[in-house]
Amino acid sequence: MEGVTNDVSVPAGGTSRRAPAQRPDARTWWGPGLAVAAVGWGAQQFAPLLLLYQAELGLSTTVVQATFGVYVFGLIPGLLLGGPVSDRYGRRRVLVPTLVASLLGTGLLILGGSGAGWLVAGRLVAGVASGAAFSSGAAWIKELSSGASAGSTPGSNPGPRRLTVAMSIGFGLGPLVAGVLAQWAPAPTVLPYLPHLLLAAVAIPLAMRAPETRPARRSAPKASAGLSLRFWTVVVPLAPWVFGSASIALAYLPGLVKAQLGGHALIFSAVVTLFTAAAGIVVQPLARRLDRAAGTRLLASALAIVVAGLLVAVAASVWLSPALVVLAALVLGAGYGCCQVCGLLEVQRLAPPEHLAGLTALYQAVSYLGFLASFLLAAAGRLLSPSELLAAVAGLAMLTLVWTTWFASAGSFWKVRR
C-alpha cells in the first residue's frame, strides 16, 4: 500500500523512522492515557442525564438530543486544530491545556440545571477539549507505545488498542458514576460532575511528567503530498460508524423504553452506557487478531457487527424491551470498538510520523460526526417510527460494508497487479 509506514517510534526531536536503541518503559503511556480517559469521562458524563434535564427543564426530545449532539460542533475544530498544533509544538503543550478546558466545560454543565444555554456552552467547550485531547493523545500514546511491549513484533504497535481502552474507560465509567449519583444522591444536577473535576485534577500532573515525543519545531512540518485513495474510499466511509453506533446505543435507545423503566430511567441509561463502552474494550483482542495490513477481515467484521447491533435495536424498538436495548448496546459497543481499532490502525499505517496527529485528527473529525446520529433520529421521528428509522440506518451500514470492503479488496488487487 502506498504511503504505509512501519510502526516503529519516532525519536524525540526528529522524524527518523529508525527504531530506538532501547525500548521505552511500557508504563510511560499511562499519563497521557489517564488524561484521555479523563477527557472522555468529561465528554460522556452528560449522556445518562439527558432524561433528567428533559424532566427538570421541560425540554423536548429534539432539544435535549441537540444538547448532546452540539458537542460535535466543538469537537471537530478541536480535532482539526489540536492534531497539527501538537505535531508542531508538542503533545504535552496541547494535552495539558485541554484538561483545563475539560474542567471548564464541566463547570459550565454544573450551571446547566438553571437553563439549557449553560448545557449548550458546556457541551461545546467539552467538545473542543475532547477534540484536541483525542488527536494529540492518540499520537502521544502511539509514540510512547512503539516497541514498548515485551515480545512485540514489527507492526504490532499497541497504541490504537490502548487509546481505545483509555477512551472507553472514560466513556463508560463517567456516565455510570454520573448516573448513579443522579439517581440516588442529592443535587442531581451538581454532584454527578464532581468526580470528573477530581479525576482531571489528578491527570494534569501525570500528563506533565510523561516523556515528550514531539518537541516544538521552529517551522511547521511540510505538507504531505496527498492522502491515499484507501483513506478516502475505506477509512472515511468507515469513520462515522465508530461513534454513530455508540451514540445510538447510549443516547437514543434508552429513551425508547423510558416508560417501561418507572423511576429507574437514569440508572438504566448509565448501565447501557457502561455496557456499550465495556463491549468496546472486551472486543479489542479479537479486533487485533482479525487485523491484516491490506486485508478486509477486520473491516468487514466491524461493520457486520454494527449491522447486527442495529437489527437488534430494531427489535428493541418494536417490542419496547429494555432487555433488547441492553443486548443492542452490547453488540453496538462491540461494533464501536472494532471500528475504532480498524480506523486507527489504518491511519497509523498511512500517516508519516510528522503528520500522525494531523491525519489522526482528520479521521477522528469524521468519526465524531457519528455523534449526530441520535439527534438526527430524534428529529426524523416526526416522519417515521423508531423501528423504520433504525432499519434504514441498518441498511446504510450494510451499504457501507459492501462499499468499503469492495474498495479495500480492489486496492489490494491493483497493488498486486502492479
Question: Which three cell numbers mark 152?
Answer: 512485540
CA distance 88 to 82: 10
In-domain check, residue 16: no
Do residues 182 and 52 lie in contact, with contact meaning Cβ atoms separated by under 8 Å? yes
Q: How confident is the model at residue 265 (pLDDT cuts 50, 70, 90)?
A: confident
* Count of beta carbons in the 10 Å neighbourhood of residue 151: 5
Q: What is the mean pLDDT of the chain?
A: 85
Domain span at residue 313 reads 30-218+230-417
Do residues 123 and 105 lie in contact, with contact meaning Cβ atoms separated by under 8 Å? yes
Q: How confident is the model at residue 161 (pLDDT cuts 50, 70, 90)?
A: confident
Average the pLDDT over 161-171 and give the result. Answer: 86
CA-to-CA dists, residue 95 to 35, 87, 137, angstroms:
8, 12, 7
In-domain check, residue 52: yes
In-domain check, residue 380: yes
In-domain check, residue 333: yes
pLDDT in the model for residue 242: 95
* Count of beta carbons in the 10 Å neighbourhood of residue 61: 16
In-domain check, residue 17: no
CA distance 298 to 295: 8
The answer on pLDDT for 413 being more than 50 is: no
In-domain check, residue 404: yes
pLDDT in the model for residue 294: 61
In-domain check, residue 9: no
Average the pLDDT over 54-67 and give the result. Answer: 86
The answer on pLDDT for 218 being more than 70 is: no
Tens digits of per-residue pLDDT, 222-260? 544 456 788 999 999 999 999 999 999 988 999 999 899
Lowest mean pLDDT among 149-153, 221-225, 230-234, 357-361: 149-153
What is the domain count for the chain? 1
Question: Which carries the bigger pLDDT value, residue 288 or residue 248?
Answer: 248
Q: Write down the pTM of the prediction.
A: 0.76
In-domain check, residue 8: no
Tens digits of per-residue pLDDT, 6-21? 333 333 333 333 344 3
Average the pLDDT over 193-212 and give the result. Answer: 95
pLDDT in the model for residue 221: 54
Question: Which three cell numbers mark 138?
Answer: 492518540
Q: 161, exposed or middle or buried, with CB in 10 Å at 0-12, 13-18, 19+?
A: buried
- What is the CATH number for 349? 1.20.1250.20
Average the pLDDT over 208-223 and give the result. Answer: 75
